[in-house]
Structure 1
Amino acid sequence: MKITIAGAGEVGKHLSKVLAFDAHDVTVIDVEEGELSNLSNHLDILTIKGSALSISILLEAKVSDCDLFIAVTHFPEMNVASSVLAKKLGAKKTIARVRDPQLLEEKNIKLFNEIGIDSIIYPQALAAREITKFVQETATREFFDFAEGLLSLYVLKIEEDSPVIGKYLHEIVALQEDLENFRIIMIKRDFSTMIPRGDDVCLPHDILYIISNKKGSKSMLETFGRKKFAVNNIMILGASRTGRATAKNLQNLFDVKLIEVNEARAKIIANELTNVLVINGDGRSTDLLVEEGIRNTDVFIATTGNSETNILSCYLAKSVGVKRTIAEVENFDYIALARDMGIDTVINKKTIAANSIHKYTLGEKTAITSSRYLTETEAQVLEIFIQPGMKITEQQLKFLDFPRGAVIGGVVRGKDAFIPKGNTQIKNSDKVLVFAMSNALNEVKKFFETDK
């Protein structure tokens, strides 16, 4: 697929890496030569220095032939205008990044469609939606639904007192009454990610990625010694766009406090969010956090514009007994550090935005209906609808030479969802979840190609 990206900022750079790795034909436009040079030196992409509002630059980028035009510059007006121009010049689909949450209203989305913009993304709203979801699922670090909720991916950390430490995976599997309800499909250990086998052992501090159907979620949590807890009090540090959107989502569900250091901004937010207690103060002050009741807080969320502040404040919250901490971390180099410091959940807008946009790059030939890159791993999740002629349907799974760096984690057949075994044979119209390491992705896709 031919893809043009306007903007080589943080989101644009991350998208360029993801899409170039997927072997798309990527062109990046930006006014900053330094950002472009850095990209072209590390990726097999074309870069063009200039404004995305320049018709001559757009023509040089051959947007008339591009399948997808993505505008993610720092300037929302430029994103909208350049997307409209690209569409008029022949781009098949256009996506524009915006910063005004009102633009996400249905009537405004329809207006954008009418002027030639197929989709708009607001990364802060996407991040707030993820945070809201994680707040309500308290037994795991993260979780993601697939196949309309019939299968879910849970992310758990193995603590020092976990009952599964030292156990082989085949021993954990043997504890299940029904082997078709959940499975460990990936382990993050130190700085490496692996697709586990039955003779692998669970170690302290492992991050487990577990796929489960609805019937298996309760027994899965019991197996790994995880319990849900009630959430009443939430404290949010930082009235950034993500922080404001999160507070708005949560204000009618929980008792929410929002701490903002800027007095003028705090007053504006207090008028906007009438069910949120807005406090003007420096959230980096331990005395202020204690005074405002951090010891009685169930979930602490740090969404300032500074990753270091978010990590350190969550670490402080954890040290005084807060059950759940969520930090917005934009620097990829800090994500592993945040995990090691005991931060429960890390939110990264670049990854979230890339996952949202990536669905528009999925070709029809492989019938991939959705995909997700998993933060801090070298893995991707693919949701695939099975069609006639696919190699994956030819034999039982144990007889297929499926890549070792990948696993079929779940199958949806009609209204039933189950974990496949070696003697499972995939059938037409099934929907499968495939977890694949980056180096196995191309081989995996061959099993799901059709002649269409």
Structure 2
Amino acid sequence: MKIIIIGAGQVGGTLAENLVGENNDITIIDRDGSSLRNLQDKFDLRVVEGHGANPDVLREAGAQDADMLVAVTNNDETNMIACQVAYTLFNTPNKIARIRNESYLDHKETLFHNGAIAVDHLIAPEQLVTDYIKRLIDYPGALQVVNFANNKVGLVALKAYYGGPLVGNALAALREHMPNVEARVAAIFRQGKPIRPLGTTIIEADDEVFFVSASNNIRAVMSELQKLENPYRRIIIAGGGNIGAALASRLERDYSVKLIERNITRAEQLSEMLNNTIVFCGDASDQELLNEEHIDQTDVFIAVTNDDEANIMSAMLAKRMGAKKAMVLIQRGAYVDLVQGGTIDIAISPQQATISALLTHVRRAGIANVYSLRRGAAEAIEAIAYGDKLTSRVVGRTVGSLKLPVGTTIGAIVRNDAVLIAHDKTVIEQDDHVVMFLVDKKFIPDVEKLFQPSPFFL
């Protein structure tokens, strides 16, 4: 596939890294020559220096025969105009734009979905991060929660703790503990390395376990792997930007929410926008303020300012002063691995949330959902079994007979409204939604090929 990426920042660079090894022809456009050179030194791709919405620059990048254009600069207007120019002048078939401004998103049905502006898919990073954090709040103790098949199936990552019912036992004991609940462990990471989950595999404390189950069974399965945490009630959000405001709006109906914003004008705006959130103007690293607001009784402290260092320091202080859990938004990928799992419980990368949404649209036909996991090393995929027994490599065949790439696990199959936890003898039927976990994303093309029907396959 020939793909043009506009924007060589963190999102554009990470997207290129994910796609360049999958037999794609990648060209990146940016005005920053040094960023382009850095990417060209690392990866096998073309670069074009210039403005991404300029027709001549797009022509030089090969827009006339490109399959897809992905505009992910920090400027919404540049992204929208680039998509419009690519469509009007070059008839580029697939166009994706990163849009951050709430005003555009509030009118997305009128602006984009009726073809007024030629954008096929919108990527809204702030909304994606807000959704991500909300899922973590809904499932206390989870490190990551992603949903498939219109929320019918969940893939959850959590850490197995000392004292959990399964720690020290084999995976086969999961069915004995919960005979009426279907679930499958899709992957285990021990000290950062993947372990193939077998019935005889012994769960150890500190294992990072990924399991798949019907969404309504997630809490029951979590309780088997770790001591189930009490539902959160009291939440403090540090940062009143787009993410902080949206998160408070989503949470204030069900939780006691306080929000700390250091800009007085913005704090006044938030106090008018939000209904049940208590808004403070101040510094989230102010010990006196945190003490006055009973940080020691807070279930979750969530730092979502646009300053990584401020987020990390305020979260570490909040934990030291008694907050039960700390979540931190971190832009720099190198920081994520440094802080998560220590004082800070969960580090959230907006780039990874954005990349997951982009990959869903960039993957070939038949791939309905993609989630980038473990900082991009692994992926979870929802593939649709198109074709029939004559044209498909999967339809009419058992899970155990499929030639899956190394480290690939089929966790669940969604058939109409039914969720089937996959076993070796489970037969895949036409139009099934198949949820898979890949410990190594380099095998993505093999999975895509497996699920692509072919008139020549017999």
Give the TM-score normalised by the residue count of structure 1: 0.92
Q: Output aligned runs, 1:246-325, within 5 Å.
A: 246-325=247-326
User: Are residues 1:433 and 2:415 paired?
Assistant: no
What SS does structure 1 have at the residue aligned with 2:394?
helix
Taking the aligned partners of 2:168 and 2:310, their CA distance within structure 1 comes to: 36
Partner of 2:392 in structure 1?
390
Shift in alpha-carbon separation, 1:400–1:251, aligned structure 2, 3 A = closer
From 156, 167, 170, the counterpart of 1:168: 170
For 1:149 and 1:97, locate their aligned partners in 2 and report how far apart those are by CA, in whole Å.
Answer: 24
Separation in structure 2 between the aligned mates of residue 27 and residue 377 of structure 1, nearest angstrom: 21
- What is the aligned partner in structure 1 of residue 448 from structure 2? 445
When residues 357 and 439 of structure 1 are mapped into structure 2, their CA distance, relative to the original with a 3 A threshold, is: closer
How do 1:375-414 and structure 2 match up within 5 A? 375-376=374-375, 378-387=377-386, 388=388, 389-393=391-395, 395-414=397-416
Correspondence 1:355 to 2:356:
yes
Q: In 2 relative to 1, CA 361–173 (structure 1 residues): closer, same or farther, beyond 3 Å?
A: same
Corresponding residue to 1:424 among 404, 423, 426: 426
Please say if residues 186 and 196 of structure 1, whose CA atoms lie closer than 8 Å, have aligned partners that are also in contact: yes
Task: Output the CA distance in 2 between the equivalents of 1:276 and 1:22.
Answer: 46
Whether the aligned pair in 2 keeps the contact of 1:358 and 1:371 (CA below 8 Å) is yes
Deviation of residue 214 (structure 1)?
4.4
Question: Counterparts of 1:18-417 in structure 2 under 5 Å?
Answer: 18-89=18-89, 90-105=91-106, 107-112=107-112, 113-178=115-180, 181-214=182-215, 216-364=217-365, 367-376=366-375, 378-387=377-386, 388=388, 389-393=391-395, 395-417=397-419
SS in 2 for 1:252: coil
- Maintained 8 Å contact 1:2/1:68: yes
Q: Using the TM superposition, give the Cα deviation of residue 42 of structure 1 relative to its aligned residue in structure 2, in angstroms.
A: 1.1
CA distance in 2, matches of 1:296, 1:70: 45
Q: 1:175 to 1:280 in 2, by over 3 A?
A: same
Once residues 285 and 193 of structure 1 are traced to their aligned partners in structure 2, the CA distance between those partners, rounded to angstroms, is: 41
Secondary structure of 1:278's counterpart equals strand
Q: Deviations over 1:402-422 (max 9, x none)?
A: 333101111122322121222
Deviates more, 1:134-143 or 1:35-44: 134-143
Distance in structure 2 (CA, Å) of the matches to 1:2 and 1:377: 22
**Deviations along 1:387-444, whole A, 9 cap, x unmatched?**
2132224543334443331011111223221212222222223221111122433333
TM-score, normalised relative to structure 2? 0.91
Kindly state the Cα deviation for residue 215 of structure 1 after the two structures are TM-superposed: 5.9
Q: Count residues with an aligned counterpart.
A: 448
Q: What's the CA shift string for 1:339-375, capped at 9, x where partnerless?
A: 22153333211111112122222322xx222211113
For 1:85, the aligned partner's letter is V
Instruction: Assess if the C-alpha contact under 8 Å between 2:63 and 2:92 holds in 1.
Output: yes
* Alignment partners' CA distance in 1, 2:75 and 2:220: 48
Per-residue Cα deviation, 1:218-260 (whole angstroms, up to 9, x for no partner) = 4312322342523332110112322122122223332221112
Structure 2 unaligned regions, length at least 5: none
Verify the 8 A CA contact 2:159 2:226 in the aligned structure 1: no
Q: 1:54 to 1:289 in 2, by over 3 A?
A: same
- 1:375–1:310 distance in 2 versus 1, CA, 3 Å: farther
Tell me how far apart the structure 1 counterparts of residues 396 and 200 of structure 2 sit (CA, whole Å).
Answer: 28
C-alpha RMSD of the superposition: 2.2
Q: 1:172 to 1:14 in 2, by over 3 A?
A: same
User: CA separation in 2, counterparts of 1:257 and 1:129?
Assistant: 19
Deviations along 1:185-233, whole A, 9 cap, x unmatched? Answer: 1122223234422333222222111101246434312322342523332
SS for the counterpart of 1:392 is coil
Corresponding residue number in structure 2 for 1:9: 9
**Residues 117 and 298 from structure 1, CA distance in 2 versus in 1: closer, same or farther, beyond 3 angstroms?**
same
Superposed displacement of residue 57, structure 1: 0.6
* Per-residue deviation, residues 69-92 of structure 1 (Å, max 9, x unmatched): 122212222222222111112211
Q: CA deviation at 1:278?
A: 1.8
Percent identity over paired residues: 28
User: What's the secondary structure of 1:99's corresponding residue?
Assistant: coil
